[in-house]
Amino acid sequence: MGAIRERALAWLYTRPEARAWALLAPGGFWLLLFFLLPLLIMFVYSLMPRGIYGGVEPGFTLEHYARFFDPLYLQVLQRTFIWSIGCTIICLVLGYPVAYVIARGRRWRTFLLFLVVLPFWTSFLVRTFAMIFLMRDTGLLNNWMLKLGLIQEPMTILYTPFAVMAGLVYGFLPFMILPIYASLEKVDLSLLEAAEVLGARPTARFRRVTLPLSMPGVVAGSLLVFIPALGSFLTSDLLGGAKQVMIGNLVQNQFSSARNWPFGSAASFIVMALVLAAVMFYLRVKDRGPGGATPI
């Protein structure tokens, strides 16, 4: 043992960059080999002709990307996009008031924040199942509405676009609340006092001071909701049934029943590209950020 230890120490001294390498190598190679390389393979596969038994055949083709101009798949893309944006807007409308109440209300702040963070660490599968439990035909929601006399017979809620949207909002709402809260919490209250002294009504104070200063949080929150919504799979799979297909389900389908790997890879690459585009957009907006971040 001693000899190895001596050799290791000598190595560390004689080659300063060796230390960096020794620290970097295991994790770095893991990420290279099992994260980056697979993405690369996926991209290459998306450009190759389809094999008969699932795989690919040698060659080059753009047909898998061209297929997205087919109305059927264009519709899936469109639906994914519209639902993701819809989900983002609903989360914004519901999440902003909550973030505002947490930031401005002096009482129970820690507890209210805790309640927002809690779903983050709740299994997504379990949460989706909870929605099924509520929304299915013999579920609690129908049961309550029947008892209250709001409806005469069970209503179909599950497997409708409404169910998927409810599931998406339920799943990603906390991502919206936290960043907005963070930027609202930083707003300097003396600015609001100044506005009041200068005669601004509460609505004007909100519109002219609070809202602009919370924009970084709004942008960050919107991205944090939009990105996972774009790539969501479980929600539409379990709450949407066969008709409410999003692009994530399309990808999964190509690898299970349809056995068209290159087309699935192309679809998957499109999701990845959209997500990265959204991240790039966010980084650019953040750097120029209105209010808070960069003083004028």
Assigned token pair, 207: 């519109």
Contact between 49 and another protein per CB under 8 A: no
Give least dist CB 72 to another protein, A.
20
Q: Distance between terminal CA atoms of the chain?
A: 61
Contact between 65 and another protein per CB under 8 A: no
Residue with Cβ nearer another protein (10 or 74):
10
Residue with Cβ nearer another protein (188 or 290):
188
Contact between 97 and another protein per CB under 8 A: yes
Question: Minimal CA–CA distance to 186: which of 165, 215, 225?
Answer: 215
Give least dist CB 52 to another protein, A.
15
Contact between 23 and another protein per CB under 8 A: yes
Question: Minimal CA–CA distance to 176: which of 83, 235, 94, 288?
Answer: 94
Residue with Cβ nearer another protein (2 or 295):
2
Give least dist CB 209 to another protein, A.
12
Question: How many angstroms separate the CA atoms of 218 and 43, rounded?
Answer: 33
Residue pair 239/128 in contact (Cβ under 8 Å)? The answer is yes
The piece of 3-11, 57-65, 81-89, 208-216 that touches another protein (CB under 8 A) is 3-11
Residue with Cβ nearer another protein (76 or 116):
116
Question: Minimal CA–CA distance to 236: which of 130, 94, 137, 128?
Answer: 128
Options 7, 15, 37, 78; binder of another protein; rule CB under 8 A: 37
Phi, psi of 53 (to 5 degrees): -100, 40
Contact between 100 and another protein per CB under 8 A: yes
- Of residues 150-179, those binding another protein (CB under 8 A): 170, 173-174
Residue pair 180/95 in contact (Cβ under 8 Å)? The answer is yes
Question: How many angstroms separate the CA atoms of 253 and 246, rounded?
Answer: 11
Residue with Cβ nearer another protein (85 or 275):
275
Options 76, 77, 98, 187; binder of another protein; rule CB under 8 A: 98
Contact between 42 and another protein per CB under 8 A: yes
Question: Minimal CA–CA distance to 220: which of 119, 117, 93, 92?
Answer: 92
Contact between 86 and another protein per CB under 8 A: no
- Of residues 184-223, those binding another protein (CB under 8 A): 189, 192-193, 196
Question: Minimal CA–CA distance to 43: which of 267, 217, 260, 248?
Answer: 267
- Of residues 248-277, those binding another protein (CB under 8 A): 248, 251-252, 255, 261, 264-265, 268, 271-272, 275-276
Question: Minimal CA–CA distance to 264: which of 276, 274, 251?
Answer: 251
Question: How many angstroms separate the CA atoms of 110 and 120, rounded?
Answer: 16
